[in-house]
Amino acid sequence: MDTKDNNIHAGHRQRMRERVQKLGIENLPDHEVLEFLLYPFIPLKDTNAIAHELIERAGGSLDKVFDSSIALLMSVKNMTRNAALFLTSMPQILKTYQLRKLGEKPMLDTIAHAVDYFRILLSDLTQEKMYLVIVNSKGKLVDKCEIGDSTSQECTLNVKSFIARTTNSGADNIFIAHNHPSGDPSPSMADYDFTRWLVSLCEIMGLKLVDHIVIADEGYYSFNEHGDLKQYKDVYRDYVKFATAMDKFRM
Helix (H) or strand (E) holding 230, with range, is helix 228-247
* Alpha carbon distance 51, 43 (integer Å): 14
Domain boundaries, the chain: 3-88, 103-247
State pLDDT tens for residues 124-154: 888 899 999 999 999 999 999 998 766 656 6
Lowest average pLDDT, out of 27-31, 112-116, 198-202, goes to 198-202
* Alpha carbon distance 5, 3 (integer Å): 5
State pLDDT tens for residues 208-229: 999 999 999 999 999 999 999 9
**Spatial CA neighbour of 174 closest among 166, 163, 185, 164:** 166
| Four-residue CA torsion sign, 50, 53, 57, 60 | positive
The CATH superfamily of 103-247 is Cytidine Deaminase, domain 2 (3.40.140.10)
Q: Is the pLDDT of residue 249 over 60?
A: no
**For 3-88, CATH number?**
1.10.150
- The pLDDT value recorded for residue 99 is 92
- The pLDDT value recorded for residue 130 is 92
* Alpha carbon distance 48, 31 (integer Å): 7
The percentage of residues in the chain with a pLDDT greater than 70, rounded to a whole number, is: 86
* Alpha carbon distance 229, 196 (integer Å): 8
Indicate if 103-247 has the same CATH topology as 3-88: no
Q: Is the pLDDT of residue 235 over 60?
A: yes
State pLDDT tens for residues 11-33: 889 999 999 999 999 999 999 99
Note whether 139 and 180 are within 8 A (CB): no
